[in-house]
Structure 1
Amino acid sequence: MAEIPDISDTERWILETTLKERYDRDLELQLADAEIRLHPSDRELTSCPVVFWHDSQGCNFVVFKTGDRNYRCQFFYRGYQQYGTGVNEYDDLSECVVSLLQAQADHAAEEHGDIESKRS
């Protein structure tokens, strides 16, 4: 399998712009690599570029670049409190980040009793 390209300047701009719209300020983005299984049946882990940030409420966000124009995402509070959007993979970074932010906002609203839980 070909190596997954790093986060590009354009992708970083998309992330920074989307987050500034959400939080009305710049957030510090951390770039890293993570080893994940691209497919559940994979025995080997694949190194993927990752973008990580956290908000002032203690929520952490991760976007994994799993291919050229392929992304996965999740948010978490603690290691055992990990959440996703319900979509396994996106081919549009903007859609990925907006869906992630919306899923986290919905989760926070459910936790505070502002909206009815979808789990009910």
Structure 2
Amino acid sequence: MIDYTEQESQAVQQLLNERYKSPVEIHLADCEVQPDKQRNERVERPAMFWNALDCNFVLIKMADDEFQGFFFYQPDEHFASAQQTYSNAVNCVIAILQSQADQFGESQGYLSGATAADFDLNKFIPCMVRNDD
């Protein structure tokens, strides 16, 4: 049976704790998935689930070296990273965290991948860092 290794669990926990600067509670679950879209067969796979900043995240271990992840705010709207599967849990979690940050920024009116050329810099107030020594 496929399951998370202790190293995978610890690595994901450490990554999330560092990302959110506090302990994140990870719940273990089983998900029913359809690994082969051509066949109507469904199988159970282990999953990690956590909630952070009003967003829910799911990491599914499809095979020993195959992970899928997604996030959602509401049960009827799921988002994923551009790449469908990853060969390790940490890279998959990093990808869905980055995708969620991009999606959140875009929902707030920010452009993903925007550079200074995309903005009217005359609207920004310049700031200077003060050195008080």
Answer yes or no: same fold by TM over 0.5.
yes
Overall identity of the aligned pairs, in %? 30
Q: Which residue of 2 aligns with 1:30?
A: 27
Match of 2:12 among 8, 15, 35: 15
Q: Give, as a single letter, the amino acid of the residue that structure 2 aligns with 1:61.
A: F
Q: 1:60 aligns with which of 53, 56, 60?
A: 56
Larger radius of gyration: 2
Q: CA deviation at 1:49?
A: 0.2
4+ aligned runs moved over 2 Å, structure 1: 114-117
CA distance in structure 2 between the aligned counterparts of 1:63 and 1:22, rounded to whole angstroms = 16
Instruction: After superposition, give the CA deviation of every residue in 1:2-24 in whole Å (9 maximum; x if it has no partner).
Output: x3x21111111111111012101
Mapped to 2, the partners of 1:54 and 1:27 lie a distance apart of 8
Q: TM-score, normalised by structure 1?
A: 0.89
The one-character-per-residue Cα deviations of 1:41-78 (angstroms, maximum 9, x if unpaired) are 121101100000001x3100000000002100000011
Question: What is aligned with 1:69?
Answer: 65
Match of 2:45 among 44, 48, 57: 48
Match runs of 1:58-97 below 5 Å? 58-97=54-93
Amino acid at match of 2:41: E
TM score, norm. by length of structure 2: 0.80
Unmatched runs of 5 consecutive residues or more in structure 2: 114-133
The number of residues matched between the two structures is: 114
Structure 1 gaps of 5+ residues are none
Q: Aligned AA for 1:13? A: Q
- Please show how residues 97-108 of structure 1 align to structure 2 within 5 Å: 97-108=93-104
Which structure carries more relative contact order (alpha carbon 8 Å, separation 6+)? 1
